Amino acid sequence: MDLLHNLYTGFSIALTFNNIIYCLVGVFFGQIVGVLPGIGAPTAIALLLPLTFTVNPTSALIMFAGIYYGVAYGGTITSVLINVPGESSTVMTCIDGYQMALKGRAGAALSVAAIGSWLAGTASVILLMTFAPALAKFALRFGPPEYFALAFMAFGLLTVFGGAQPIKIVISTMLGLLLATIGLDVVSGLPRFAFGVPQLLGGIDFIVIICGIFGVAEVFNSIEEPEEGELIKQKMRLRDLFLTWEEWIASRWAILRGGIIGFFVGMIPAGGITTASFLAYLGEKRLSKHPERFGKGAIEGVAAPESANNAASISGFAPLLALGIPGSPTTAVMLAGFMMWGIRPGPLLFQTKPDLVWGLIASMYIGNFLLLLMNIFLIPPFVAILRLPYTIIMGFIVIFASVGAYSVNNNLFDVWMMLGFGVLGYVMKKLEYPIVPLVLALVLGRLAENSLRQALIISGGSLFIFFTRPISGIFIAAGILAYLTPVIRWALKGLQRPKVDTA
Amino acid sequence: MWLAELIGGVAVLILGVAVVFFSSQLSYYSEFEPGPGFLPLWVGVVLIGCAIFVIINILKKHVKIGTFFKPRTKLGLHVLIIIFITFLLLPLLGFSIGLALFVGITMRIMGKHRWVSCGLTAVVTAIAIHFIFGHWLSIPLPTGIIGW
C-alpha cells in the first residue's frame, strides 16, 4: 500500500504542467545529445547544471534524468544509420544494428531498440520503486566506517570495470582524490594545496572541473578525431518500423535478459550503462543457438544492449538516491547538483524529501513513454540534426562551459581553471588515462576522508573497526578483491598459457 | 606515443613527489584521527608507486604504439589558442561579444564557412548570450567596455 501511495504522490508531482515540460525538454535534449557524436550525458548535464541554480530541484532533476535516459535512446539512431555510436553505451548496437540497416531493416532495428528500451526502462522503474526504498532502509544502519568502506569498494570496482589498464585507473582515481583535498580542511581549518591563492581556499568547484574535463576536453578530442560515417539513405515508411513475427520472437527474451543485466549492472558503483550494454550483448551471443548470426544483423544483438543500457540508466539512481553514492559519471554530476541545491542524497532522503524522490521516479514512466513516441514518429528530424556543422556545436559547448564555470563564483579565475581542466582531460584521454575514476573519486573523496576520520575517532584510532563491523567488513573485503582482480587475471592468464615444448 | 607516455609517467611521478613533499608539512596524525596530511600523503605515495610502474613498463616495451600528434592535432591547437585569446579579451569585450567572436572565428577557420554566415552567426550568438544568460537566467556576466 505504501508503494501505491508513494506512486500516487510521485505522479501528482510529475504530472504538473511545469514538470511535464521539464521532462519533455529533458528527454528531447537527451535524444539530441545522444544523436550528436562527441557529446555525452555527463557533458550535457554538467553544462546545464550551473544554469539551474534558481530552478526547483525536483524539476531540474526530472530534466536531468530525462537527458540521461534520453541519451541512451538517441545514440541508437547514429549507431544504426551511420555506424557511429552517438554514445559509448550504444557501441554494441552498431555491430548488428548497422548490418540490419544495410539489409534494409533499419526501421526494425530502431523500432526494437525503442520498444526494448521502453519495456526494460519501465520494468527498471518498477524495480527501482521497490528496491531503492529497501536499500535506503538498509543504509540507515550505515555509520562512518560503512561509508568509508563503501567508497573504498567503489574505487576498487573501478579497476574491474574501468578499462584495460588498471594502473592508469588507480592514477586517475588518485588525481580525483587529490583534487578533492584542495582547499581548507574541514576538521583542522588548515589550507591544503592552496599555495596562497585565495580562490583555492574554498576548493575547486566540481562544476568547474567537469565543465572542463567533459566539455572543453571533448571539443579538442572531437576536432582531432571526428566521428564521421556515411548516412544510410533509406526511405523509411511507417510500416518499415513494424517488426515481423519472427523478429519479435527472436528479440523478446533478449529484451528481458538485457533488462535484467542492465538493472543489476547499473546499480553497481562504477558499473554504468556502457558496461551493461556490453555484458548484455556478450551474454546474448553466448546464449544464442546461432551465435554465428551475431555481427551479421541479428536483431537480438540490438535488442539486448539497448534494453540493458536503458535499464542501467534508471537503476543507477538507486545507489545515488538511497546511499548518496554515484554509480556512473552522469550520476556523479547529478550528485554535484544535489550539493548545489543543498540536498544530501542518502537513506534519509526518502523521508525528508519524498516529493523529490517519488516525483523523479514517477517522471521516468512519463519520460520513457515520451521517448518511445519520439523514436517511432520523430526519427527523420533527429537525423537532420546530424547535418549541423560541428563548428557550431563546438561553439555552443565552449559558451556553456565558460558561462557555467563563471557562474559558480562569478569570477574569471574559474573560467581559466575550467580551460586548464579541459587541456588535462584531453591529454589524459590521449594517453589513455580514464576520466571516469577521476570524476567519481573527486565526488566521493571528501565523503571517504571525512568518514575515515570519524570512524577512527569512534574506534580510538583502531583500524579494526572496518573489519569487525559486518557490513563494512564485507565492503572492505569486496574492495580488496576488486583491487586484486588485475593480479588474479594476470595469474590466471599465466596458468592458461600453453606450455612451450623446449625439448 | 612512446615518448608522450614516458613524459606522462614522469609528470605523474613529479606530481606524486610534490604531493608527498607538501603534505609532509601538514600534520599526519592528531589524537585518534588522521590529520590533514594523512590522505594527501598516501595519495602521493600511491602516485609515485604507480608512476614508477608505468615508467618501467614503458622503458621495457620501447615499441611505437600510435602517435601522439595526429593530422588534426594542429587544428585542435589552433582552437585552444583562439579560446586562450578569447578568455584574455573577456574582461575587455565582455562575455557576449567575446564568445560570439570566438564562434564566428572558429566557424571561419575550421568550417571554412563564408564570412557572411560567420558574421551573422556571431551577431545572433551575441544577442542570444546577452538575453538568455544575462537577462533570462540573471547571470551577472562581465560586460566589457561596450557594456554588453
Chain A residue with Cα closest to B71: A224
pLDDT for residue A497 = 62
Instruction: Answer whether A449 sits within 8 Å of B39, measured CB to CB.
Output: yes
Q: What percent of chain A shows pLDDT beyond 70?
A: 94
Instruction: Answer whether B106 sits within 8 Å of A391, measured CB to CB.
Output: yes
Residues A326, A335: Cα–Cα separation, whole Å = 7
* B130 lies in the same domain as B77: yes
Angle value at C-alpha A61, between A210 and A329, nearest 5 degrees:
35
- Among the partner-chain residues B4, B36, B90, the one whose CB lies closest to the CB of A412 is B90
Question: Dihedral, CA atoms, A395, A398, A401, A404, nearest 10 degrees?
Answer: -70
From the CA of A364, how many Å to the nearest CA of chain B? 26
Average pLDDT over residues B99-110: 91
Contacts of A398 in chain B (CB under 8 A): 83, 99, 102-103
Instruction: Answer whether A226 sits within 8 Å of B138, measured CB to CB.
Output: no
Average pLDDT over residues A34-40: 78
Chain A residue with Cα closest to B101: A395
The answer to whether the beta carbons of residues A327 and A299 sit under 8 Å apart is no
**What is the residue type of A303?**
A
The answer to whether the beta carbons of residues A320 and A327 sit under 8 Å apart is yes
Write out pLDDT tens, residues B14-37: 999 999 999 999 888 877 778 889
Instruction: Please measure the distance between the N-terminal and C-terminal CA atoms of chain A and give it in whole angstroms.
Output: 74
CA distance readout (Å), A338 to A64, A173, A237, B94: 12, 22, 44, 31
Closest CA to A450 of A177, A193, A158: A177
Q: What percent of chain A shows pLDDT beyond 90?
A: 30
The answer to whether the beta carbons of residues A74 and A35 sit under 8 Å apart is yes
Residue-by-residue DSSP string for B39-59: HHHHHHHHHHHHHHHHHHHHH
Average pLDDT over residues B83-108: 93
Residues A18, B80: Cα–Cα separation, whole Å = 40
pLDDT for residue B147 = 73
- Among the partner-chain residues A224, A391, A433, the one whose CB lies closest to the CB of B73 is A224
- Among the partner-chain residues A175, A190, A226, the one whose CB lies closest to the CB of B36 is A190
- Among the partner-chain residues B68, B79, B107, the one whose CB lies closest to the CB of A430 is B68
* B96 lies in the same domain as B120: yes
Q: Would you say residue B143 lies in a domain?
A: no
Instruction: Answer whether B106 sits within 8 Å of A394, measured CB to CB.
Output: yes
Question: Dihedral, CA atoms, A164, A85, A372, A120, nearest 10 degrees?
Answer: -20
Instruction: Answer whether A403 sits within 8 Å of B83, measured CB to CB.
Output: no
Structure confidence at residue A163 as a pLDDT band (50, 70, 90) = low
User: Total structural domains in chain B?
Assistant: 2
Q: Give the ranges where A54-165 is alpha helix by DSSP (H).
A: 57-81, 91-102, 106-139, 144-161
Contacts of A457 in chain B (CB under 8 A): 32-33
Residue A247 has pLDDT above 90, yes or no: no
Domain carrying residue B114: 73-136
pLDDT for residue A268 = 82
Q: Which three cell numbers stand for residue B29?
A: 596524525
Average pLDDT over residues A367-373: 90
Domain finish residue from B34, B61, B88: B61
Contacts of B142 in chain A (CB under 8 A): 406, 412
Residue-by-residue DSSP string for A455-496: HHHHHTS-TTHHHHSHHHHHHHHHHHHHHHHHHHHHHHHHHH
Which helix (H) or strand (E) element contains residue A191? Answer: strand A191-192
- Tell me the Ramachandran region of residue A410: left when phi exceeds 0, alpha when psi lies from -120 to 50, beta otherwise: left
CA distance readout (Å), A208 to A204, A205, A412, B123: 7, 5, 11, 27
Residue A1 has pLDDT above 80, yes or no: no
A and B: number of Cβ contacts within 8 A: 148
Average pLDDT of chain B, as a whole number: 89
Closest CA to A149 of A392, A378, A323: A323
Residue A479 has pLDDT above 70, yes or no: yes
Write out pLDDT tens, residues A164-194: 688 999 999 999 999 999 999 888 888 999 9
Residues B36, A220: Cα–Cα separation, whole Å = 36
Instruction: Answer whether B103 sits within 8 Å of A399, measured CB to CB.
Output: yes
Instruction: Answer whether B133 sits within 8 Å of A403, measured CB to CB.
Output: yes
Instruction: Answer whether B32 sits within 8 Å of A461, measured CB to CB.
Output: yes
Contacts of A456 in chain B (CB under 8 A): 32-34
Tell which of A51, A224, A227 to mutate to test the B interface (max B CBs under 10 Å).
A224
Residue reference for cell 556490453: A278
Contacts of B125 in chain A (CB under 8 A): 395, 399
Average pLDDT over residues A433-452: 88
State the angle between helix axes of A17-35 and A2-14 in degrees (0 to 180), rounded to the nearest 10. Answer: 80
Instruction: Answer whether A181 sits within 8 Å of B32, measured CB to CB.
Output: no
The answer to whether the beta carbons of residues A452 and A465 sit under 8 Å apart is no
pLDDT for residue A229 = 63
Number of Cβ atoms within 10 Å of the Cβ of A131: 16
From the CA of A431, how many Å to the nearest CA of chain B? 6
Residue-by-residue DSSP string for A56-86: -HHHHHHHHHHHHHHHHHHHHHHHHHTS--S
From the CA of B21, how many Å to the nearest CA of chain A? 11
pLDDT for residue A235 = 64
User: CA A210 from chain center: how many Å?
Assistant: 14
Structure confidence at residue A501 as a pLDDT band (50, 70, 90) = very low
Average pLDDT over residues A340-354: 86
**What is the residue type of A296?**
K
Residue A162 has pLDDT above 80, yes or no: no
* B77 lies in the same domain as B132: yes
Tell which of A171, A216, A444 to mutate to test the B interface (max B CBs under 10 Å).
A171
Residues A329, A323: Cα–Cα separation, whole Å = 16
Instruction: Answer whether B133 sits within 8 Å of A170, measured CB to CB.
Output: no
**Higher pLDDT pick, B55 / A84:** B55
Instruction: Please measure the distance between the N-terminal and C-terminal CA atoms of chain B and give it in whole angstroms.
Output: 45
From the CA of A423, how many Å to the nearest CA of chain B? 9
Q: Would you say residue B66 lies in a domain?
A: no
- Among the partner-chain residues A220, A389, A407, the one whose CB lies closest to the CB of B80 is A220
- Among the partner-chain residues A170, A419, A452, the one whose CB lies closest to the CB of B34 is A452
* B55 lies in the same domain as B100: no
- Among the partner-chain residues A181, A410, A427, the one whose CB lies closest to the CB of B39 is A181
Instruction: Answer whether B50 sits within 8 Å of A171, measured CB to CB.
Output: yes
* B100 lies in the same domain as B57: no
pLDDT for residue A366 = 93
From the CA of A399, how many Å to the nearest CA of chain B? 6
Mode of pairing for the β-strands spanning A183-184 and A191-192: antiparallel
**For chain A, what are the domain ranges?**
2-232+240-494
Write out pLDDT tens, residues A111-160: 899 899 889 989 998 898 888 888 888 888 889 999 999 999 988 888 87
Tell which of B7, B14, B69, B79 to mutate to test the A interface (max A CBs under 10 Å).
B79
pLDDT for residue A503 = 39
Average pLDDT of chain A, as a whole number: 86
Q: Would you say residue B148 lies in a domain?
A: no
From the CA of A285, how many Å to the nearest CA of chain B? 31
Residue B82 has pLDDT above 90, yes or no: yes
Tell which of A55, A195, A211, A398 to mutate to test the B interface (max B CBs under 10 Å).
A398
Tell which of B1, B50, B125, B138 to mutate to test the A interface (max A CBs under 10 Å).
B50
Closest CA to A269 of A151, A132, A126: A151
pLDDT for residue A498 = 57
